Amino acid sequence: MSLFKPHGSKYWYYDFAVKGVRHYGSTGTASKEAAKEVEAAQRELVRRAAFFPDEKKKPQMTVKAAFDRYYVEVSGHLASADNHLTYMERLLTLGADRYLADITDSDVAHLVAKRRATKARYSRDPVSNATVNRETELLSRIFRRARKVWKVDVGDQIDWSAHRLPEVDERIRELTADEESRLFAHLRADYQPMVRFALISGMRLSNLVRLTWRQVDLSSGQITLKMKSRKPGGRSHTIPITPGMIALLTAEKGHHPIYVFTYVCAKSREKRRKGRRYPFSHDGWRRAWWDALQKAEIEDFRFHDIRHTAATRIVRASGNLKVAQKLLGHTDISATTRYAHVTKDDVLNALILVESQEIPKGEGTKAPTKGKNVQEEQGASQNCPACSQS
């Protein structure tokens, strides 16, 4: 057998001979199907080098094999691994068994157009341009790795910039106090703890639905999360626990041995039974969420806007953007400015505050009079509030 796993290795290796010469090495993947593709490509490369020494032809790789290998080598080590899997499933409409070299600009353009015409789940609105861009950006990274690292044939260079869709400017949307009251009036009771927790902590949905009790340390008063990062295993981020968060966590104790936030099953299906509690899945919560928004008559609001709301509220309360940066776990404060929005009311309140601080007119605003006593000038400056603040 030409494919095997050495003892202690998670990767498949190939071992074959062509014209009496043995060829041995790692496929770089733990997936046997992907390993078969790698081995076949390697065989073809060796065979052509042996029988057609003057012909330099790169090996071929199918779309599915490329996705599998990229996940093993890159995506699987990122905090956004689940998102990448979802994107890859959608991108497979290109043709799982097609070779990368056969994918053209026309194919990518058709894929983008098809995705733009798709409706978002539980919404009448089409999928956003930003979502489509994230998917095509992943596809471009896979092609780039295939060309530069795996040295396989990817055909003619695809003009990825031509397929990037325009994205809207900074989106300013936060939950008002009135909207918050209406939302909780219509939201299922078993969903409310997770949403309230999000409004306080500013945590991402992906972190909330998969939050485990092992990540919660009440003795030290903090929660440890894995954030998106290119580093293997992601990047750790801690959030302090407030009294309000403790109350919410305490109420969820005993519902599930592993996960913090759970829902009550409303209808028996497959292995789930009505009345029992189960952890939230990545998308399973959406229908009840959208139903509550519609009944509460709240428009143009996404779950991620709760993170915007939490960041904006923390900036208003503290007056410090660095506090919001620490809460959200951003490594670059420029990313925080996208979440902590300044509204017209904020600007108006700041102007009124400045206007109310009357600046006294006195000697401190004039140039010193020639020959005037220096001590008198210093005394006037000390008595001037405006000067003392400078």
Q: How many domains does the chain have?
A: 2
- Read off the pLDDT of residues 296-317 as tens digits, 9 standing for 90 and up: 999 888 888 998 888 888 888 7
Q: Within this chain, do residues 281 and 183 fall inside the same structural domain, yes or no?
A: yes
Q: Within this chain, do residues 222 and 107 fall inside the same structural domain, yes or no?
A: no
Q: Within this chain, do residues 236 and 299 fall inside the same structural domain, yes or no?
A: yes
For residue 185, is it within any domain?
yes
For residue 197, is it within any domain?
yes
Q: Within this chain, do residues 204 and 137 fall inside the same structural domain, yes or no?
A: no
- Read off the pLDDT of residues 231-280 as tens digits, 9 standing for 90 and up: 655 678 888 999 999 999 999 999 999 999 999 998 888 888 898 999 98
Q: Within this chain, do residues 253 and 327 fall inside the same structural domain, yes or no?
A: yes
For residue 124, is it within any domain?
yes
Domain boundary pick from 311, 326, 344: 344
Q: Within this chain, do residues 116 and 182 fall inside the same structural domain, yes or no?
A: no
Q: Within this chain, do residues 9 and 149 fall inside the same structural domain, yes or no?
A: yes
The pLDDT value given to residue 13: 85
Domain boundary pick from 136, 163, 190: 163
For residue 369, is it within any domain?
no
Contact 59, 154 (CB under 8 A): no
Nearest to 280 by CA among 217, 197, 224, 179: 197
Q: Within this chain, do residues 22 and 146 fall inside the same structural domain, yes or no?
A: yes
For residue 131, is it within any domain?
yes
Q: Is the dihedral of CA 279, 299, 80, 163 positive or negative?
A: positive
For residue 339, is it within any domain?
yes
Q: Within this chain, do residues 159 and 301 fall inside the same structural domain, yes or no?
A: no
Determine the Cα–Cα distance for residues 54 and 50; give it in Å rounded to an integer.
10
For residue 385, is it within any domain?
no
The pLDDT value given to residue 192: 96
This model's pTM is above 0.75: no
Q: Within this chain, do residues 27 and 106 fall inside the same structural domain, yes or no?
A: yes
Low-confidence spans in the chain with pLDDT less than 50? 55, 363-390
Q: Within this chain, do residues 20 and 89 fall inside the same structural domain, yes or no?
A: yes
Contact 260, 216 (CB under 8 A): yes
Domain boundary pick from 163, 189, 204: 163
The pLDDT value given to residue 389: 41
For residue 51, is it within any domain?
yes
* Measured CA distances, 381 to 74, 324, 373, 384 (Å): 64, 38, 13, 5
Query: Alpha carbon 331 to chain centroid distance?
Result: 14
Nearest to 338 by CA among 136, 130, 119: 130
Q: Within this chain, do residues 124 and 188 fall inside the same structural domain, yes or no?
A: no
The pLDDT value given to residue 317: 79
The dihedral region occupied by 170, where left means phi > 0, alpha psi between -120 and 50, and beta the remainder, is: beta
Six token digits for residue 297 = 């008559």
Helices 105-116 and 129-148: crossing angle, nearest 10°?
150
Nearest to 64 by CA among 100, 28, 30: 100
Q: What CATH number is given to the structural domain containing 189?
A: 1.10.443.10
Determine the Cα–Cα distance for residues 54 and 69; give it in Å rounded to an integer.
30
- Domain encompassing residue 145: 3-163
